Amino acid sequence: MSIYTEKVLEHFKNPRNQGKIKDYDSFGEKGNPVCGDVMHIYIKVENDKIVDIGWETMGCAAAIATTSMLSELAKGKSLDEAMKLTKQDVSDELEGLPPVKMHCSNLAAEALHEAIKKYREKNKKKKTK
């Protein structure tokens, strides 16, 4: 029996939206190689909505599955809605994560928030110009 739920393993086996998107508008990153988990999230935004999302992850099955799930949850959402997504949402959608993986590997939501913040800052500057 695996320590992971069926859903985690399914996302690990068939990750959604994997890869860097070519013409992304913003990106966010979390983690570091010393911990063993690094996540990059790329977003494309139109009318304040995430129309495309891609990611790159180095990490364990939980790291890969949580990034994959987060990308599914975020795609099509408005930036405001996406900012409300939490690591708990990701874990719940995956029907749970082993406790030790909850904080070290479940970083995708934070990476997404960073991407959105960067996007907003960039746009603010554009508008003020």
Partner 1 sequence: MIYLDNTTTTKVDDKVLQEIEIYQKEKYGVAISDYSPEFSMSSKKVMDATQKIISEKINSNPDEMIFTSGQTEGNNYVLKGVPKGHIITTKIEHSSILKTCKSLEKQGYDVTYLDVNEEGNVDLNQLKESLRKDTVLVSIQHANQEVGTVQNIKEAGKVCKDHQALFHVDASHSFLRVPIDVEKMNIDLLTITSHLIHGPKGIGALYIRKPIRLKPLIQGTRIHNIPGIAGFGKAIELWKDKDNKKMRKQREKLIKEIGKIPNTVIFGSTEGSLPDVLSVNFKFIEGESIVLYLGMEDIVLSTGSACAGRGLKPSHVLEAMGYGEEDSHGSIRIGLSRYIENEDIDIFLKELKEVVNRLRDMSPIKG
Give the active site residue among 44, 60, 104, 118.
104
Query: Any contact of residue 76 with partner 1 (CB under 8 A)?
Result: no
**Which candidate, 46, 56, 119, 57, places its Cα nearest to that of 83?**
119
Size of the site for partner 1 (CB under 8 A): 27
User: How far is 15 from 38, CA to CA, in rounded Å?
Assistant: 16
User: How far is 8 from 15, CA to CA, in rounded Å?
Assistant: 10
Give the active site residue among 35, 51, 58, 100.
35
User: How far is 69 from 114, CA to CA, in rounded Å?
Assistant: 17
104 is catalytic: yes
Sheet holding 37-46, edge to edge: 26-32, 37-46, 49-58
- The single residue among 13, 84, 122, 124 that binds partner 1, judged by CB under 8 A, is 13
Q: At what angle do helices 61-74 and 6-13 cross, to 10 degrees?
A: 80
- The single residue among 6, 51, 58, 86 that binds partner 1, judged by CB under 8 A, is 58
Backbone angles phi, psi at 22, to 5 degrees: -60, -55
Query: Any contact of residue 123 with partner 1 (CB under 8 A)?
Result: no
Q: How far is the CB of 21 from partner 1 (least distance, A)?
A: 13
Query: Any contact of residue 38 with partner 1 (CB under 8 A)?
Result: yes
Query: Any contact of residue 51 with partner 1 (CB under 8 A)?
Result: no
35 is catalytic: yes
Query: Any contact of residue 104 with partner 1 (CB under 8 A)?
Result: yes
Query: Any contact of residue 107 with partner 1 (CB under 8 A)?
Result: no
